[in-house]
Amino acid sequence: MIKENLDNVLQNIASSCKNVNRNTQEVKLIAVSKTKPVSMLMEAYNNGCREFGENKVQELVEKYDAMPKDIKWHMIGHLQRNKVKYIVDKAALIHSVDSLKLAEEISREAIKKQVDVSILIEVNIAGENTKFGVTPTETERLVREIAALPNIYIKGLMAIAPYVVNPEENRQYFAHLKQLSVDINRKNIDNVSMNVLSMGMTGDYLVAIEEGATYVRVGTGIFGERQYPV
């Protein structure tokens, strides 16, 4: 099942790229494996997946230890400062940085472990109360503050769009995030690049690609529905 799902997602990505004349290589797939067992991750791995996304520190660390070492791990969930130390040297990219305090902690731990950490700024692009992320208007200021810290590098922006039935409703938000990254890129801030746009999930990744996503984060579309313990 995972192989068929993966083939399907990769085909969809390719045709979405074609629709808007983008090179398929510009869009990378993160297999979001939260709550799923290592056996399922291995199946995805054996079918070519090398980038996985997790939203909990402990789960990321456990799977990091259990899985082959040529995988890029993406921390896509809200990150508490007291857990930063467990993942600074394990996550290839932390997508969910939305405050200076969190960035300072990442910088401190990165210095201790003598690593450089790549991050994205999480933007609350639709202004939802229930979501983490910095507001679009505060994003540039936060980027400038974080850019001055050692051992931490901003690579772009990330957003989680609202849950909608019709993905077209999220096009405006994806377009807004893209525009924000273009605007910030024009400022040529030292140590900041805006090459990465992490947006789009199972329900809306095709629209996100049409609006400029470079990473799409797909869970259900690869691994099936998640069952959370009650």
Ligand X SMILES: *Cc1c(COP(=O)(O)O)cnc(C)c1O
Q: Which residues contact ligand X by CB under 6 A?
A: 32, 34, 55, 76-77, 160, 201-203, 217-221
Please state, in angstroms and rounded to a whole number, the distance separating the CA atoms of residues 196 and 155. Answer: 6
Residue closer to ligand X, measured from CB, 119 or 160: 160
Residue closer to ligand X, measured from CB, 63 or 217: 217
Residue closer to ligand X, measured from CB, 60 or 149: 60
Task: Kindly state the smallest distance separating residue 175's Cβ from ligand X, in Å.
Answer: 19
How many C-beta atoms surround the C-beta of residue 7 within 10 A?
12
Single out the residue of 95, 51, 47 nearest to residue 73, CA to CA.
Answer: 51
57-66 and 38-46 helices cross at what angle (nearest 10)?
A: 60
Residue closer to ligand X, measured from CB, 47 or 202: 202
DSSP, residue by residue, 142-211? HHHHHHTSTTEEEEEEE--PPP-SSGGGGHHHHHHHHHHHHHHHHT--TTEEEEEEE---TTTHHHHHHT
Instruction: Give the pair of three-digit tokens for residue 127.
Output: 């202004």
Residue closer to ligand X, measured from CB, 139 or 149: 139
Print burial letters for 12-45: b (CB count within 10 Å at least 16), e (below 16): bbeebbeeeebeeeebbbbbbbbbbeeebbebbb
Please state, in angstroms and rounded to a whole number, the distance separating the CA atoms of residues 132 and 124. Answer: 6
Residue closer to ligand X, measured from CB, 80 or 191: 80
Could you tell me how many helices (H) and strands (E) the chain has, helices first? Answer: 9, 8
Number of residue whose CB is nearest ligand X: 219
Residue closer to ligand X, measured from CB, 149 or 167: 167
The owner of tokens 């508490």 is 80
Task: Kindly state the smallest distance separating residue 114's Cβ from ligand X, in Å.
Answer: 29
